[in-house]
Chains A and B, each alone.
Chain A
Amino acid sequence: MSEVVEEQRDQFGSKLGFIMAAIGSAIGLGNIWRFPYVVYDNGGGAFLLPYFIAIATAGIPILILEYYLGNRYQGSAPVAYRSLSRRWEWLGWWQAAVSFLIGTYYMVIIGWVLAYFYFSFGSQWGSDTEGFFTGEFLGVSDSFWSVGGLQFGVLIPFVIAWAIVFWLLIRGVGRGIELASKILIPLMVIMMVVIVIRGLTLPGAAEGLNVLFTPDLGALLDPQVWIAAYGQVFFSIGVAFSVMIAYASYLPRRSELPNSGFIVALSNAGFEFFAALGVFSVLGFLAVQQNTEVSEVATEGVGLAFIAFPQIINQLPALNSLFGLLFFGALLFAGLTSAVSIFEVGISGVRDKFGFNRNRAVSIVCGLAFLVGLVYVTKGGLYYLDTVDHFINNYGLVLSGLFEVILVAWVARQLRNIQSSLNEDAYIPVGYWWILALSVITPIILIGVTAFNIYNEFANPYEGYPASGLLVLGGGVSVLVIAIAFVFQSLRWRRSRGEVNR
């Protein structure tokens, strides 16, 4: 037997370390740049009602389930699903492949953030922030299939971001992921507190928050608002990435799990709610400076971080560079702690199945992800990133999450057993609501979300991109990850269950 196989399973140094790592995984770029706009765009303050219901009926229940699966079977998602039903190992590989693919472009975005962190010194983006981002920085090509060459201004921060993530992953669960989370998460929160305080003291902040929170109660009758709430909770907490399965497998068996689920889910939601105060107060400030309405400047995602925020930083009366460093620093820390968790899914999977040591598994997974990521560093990269992101989130994550709850609730029929097992060690016992949420509410909602997404795909082709692009990089990639999952299932296990679970 090789030395590799005899390695002990990695462990978090403490329960606190696990919770911090899980919070680091859950809090990502989307908490800062997506959530505030989703609230604004879906009924303002009224959105909070479906959002709370989604947290209670999908976010927390799935999170607790994933903790249980990882902790009970002491393995990654393929091990956990295979243990529930031998024929369902592919689902774990599907989630691992989806996470891997998301990680490939997530690293490119972290590279952009790193570059903008540097550009914050002296507001190097100039006055035309949109022209700088799409032109000088990304060098976006004229059309979808004009790949262009590598964009060196993006390649350099991309390589640096990868060096940091690779180093953290090589150091392992305790000395890498856990330590980084314990340092970076408090720092990120402190940075966000400063951003919010500065934002709230700017002229126009009250108007921004008024637009954000004023409830449009009529929105509660719109099914799209409910879909948006479930989508936000699903993507934000990061269920169906199977990160939480991998992380919980690094805890001693029979650890307390439900209360940790509440802490992580509410930290994630509480942070994005807090970040929304900062984002909309500075958007209110921007609207005042431009003598326009908040609705004219409200935006999300890449447009918010790399176009609107540099504009805001340009307009600040003082300490412009410091505000830029705080904002892009907070994004960077949120991104890094999520990125390491996304790659840990694949690393734990291949280690469990093939018995690789950590260095080898990290090198293979990260090396391959780096090479795939180079596609997004080209001049056409923004189109490809946008397309893959849209499809892999809307179909890969949502559908694999749907299969996950169907497997546990309806195929393996394990929810009652899991509930009693969870409650043996729980600070907060999980009640019947947990079973109802996972067996009925979540599947119905996810089926509804998928049906809506498919309808929308045909009614409004995404971003007006060419059909060939959507077919190859959207549909093609989504199908490819499923094929990869079945190939991995067919490969022979090099480690026995006992060895995996040790």
Chain B
Amino acid sequence: MSAGAWIMFLVGAAFLWGGLILSILNYLRAGRSARDQ
């Protein structure tokens, strides 16, 4: 793959999969703090 193609792939992966992982972590953290209370 060309450098441009690699960069766009990595940008897409970081934004979409990174964003998804962050929102799932948020969900799990909120669930844990609700159980702790």
- What residues of B have a CB within 8 angstroms of the CB of A209 in the complex? 1, 5, 9
In the complex, A210 Cα to B16 Cα: how many Å? Answer: 19
Interface: A48 (CB within 8 A): yes
Check: A44 CB closer than 8 A to any chain B CB: yes
Interface string of A201-216 (1 = CB under 8 A from B): 0000010011011110
Neighbouring A residues of B13 by C-beta, 8 Å: 273
Dominant secondary structure of chain B at its interface with chain A: helix
CB contact under 8 A between A266 and B1, given known A45-B9, A427-B30: no
Determine chain A's interface SS by DSSP, over half rule.
helix
* Complex contacts, B16 vs chain A, CB 8 Å: 266, 269-270, 273
CB <8 Å contact, B4 and A428: no
Contact A215-B4, Cβ < 8 Å, known A263-B23, A266-B23, A267-B20: yes
Q: Which residue from A210, A269, A273, A428 sits with its C-beta under 8 Å from B5?
A: A210
Q: How far is the CA of A214 from the CA of B4 in the complex (A)?
A: 6
A206-B1, A213-B1 given; A46·B8 CB < 8 A: yes
Is there contact, CB below 8 Å, between A428 and B26?
yes
CB distance from A436 to the nearest CB of B (A): 20
On whether the beta carbons of B11 and A256 are closer than 8 Å, the reply is no
Contacts of A263 in B (CB 8 A): 20, 23-24, 27
> How many residues of chain A get a CB closer than 8 Å to chain B's CBs?
25
B1 to chain A, nearest CB (A): 5
- Pairwise interchain contact B23-A262, C-beta atoms closer than 8 A: yes
A259 at the interface (CB under 8 A from B): yes
| Residues of chain B with a CB closer than 8 A to A206's CB | 1
A52 CB–B CB distance under 8 Å: yes
| Residues of B in contact, count (CB < 8 Å) | 22
A contact residues around B30 at 8 Å (CB): 256, 259, 427
State the total of A-B contacts with C-beta under 8 angstroms. 73
What's the Cα separation between A267 and B11 when bound, in Å? Answer: 16
User: Is A213 a contact of B5 with CB atoms below 8 Å?
Assistant: yes
CA distance A427 to B31 in the complex (A): 10
- Cβ–Cβ contact B26 & A270, under 8 A: no
Tell me how far the C-beta of B4 lies from the nearest C-beta in chain A, rounded to whole angstroms: 5
16 A-B pairs with C-beta separation under 8 A = A45-B5, A206-B1, A209-B1, A214-B2, A214-B5, A215-B4, A215-B7, A215-B8, A259-B26, A263-B23, A266-B16, A270-B16, A273-B13, A273-B16, A427-B29, A428-B26
B11–A48 touching, CB < 8 Å: yes
Interface hits, A163-216 → B, CB 8 Å: 206, 209-210, 212-215
Give CA–CA (A195, B15) in the complex, Å.
Answer: 23
20 additional A-B pairs beyond A45-B12, A260-B27, A270-B20, beta carbons within 8 Å, are A44-B5, A44-B8, A45-B9, A45-B11, A48-B15, A52-B15, A209-B1, A209-B5, A213-B1, A213-B8, A214-B2, A214-B4, A215-B7, A259-B30, A263-B20, A263-B27, A266-B16, A269-B16, A273-B13, A273-B16
Q: Which residues of A contact B (CB under 8 A)?
A: 19, 44-46, 48, 52, 206, 209-210, 212-215, 256, 259-260, 262-263, 266-267, 269-270, 273, 427-428
Q: How far is the CB of A159 from chain B (nearest CB, A)?
A: 37
Considering the complex, give the chain A residue whose CB is closest to the CB of B11: A48
Q: Find out whether the CB atom of A262 lies under 8 angstroms from the CB atom of B5.
A: no
The 8 closest A-B pairs by CB, nearest first: A45-B8, A213-B5, A266-B20, A262-B23, A270-B16, A214-B5, A213-B8, A210-B1
Q: Which B residues are CB-close (under 8 A) to A48? A: 8, 11-12, 15
CB of A296 to closest CB in B, whole Å: 19
On whether the beta carbons of A259 and B8 are closer than 8 Å, the reply is: no
Bound together, the chains give a CA A273 to CA B16 distance in angstroms of 8
- Are B27 and A45 in contact (CB-based, < 8 A)? no
Q: A266: nearest residue on chain B (CB-CB)? A: B20
Minimal beta-carbon separation of A45 from chain B (angstroms): 3
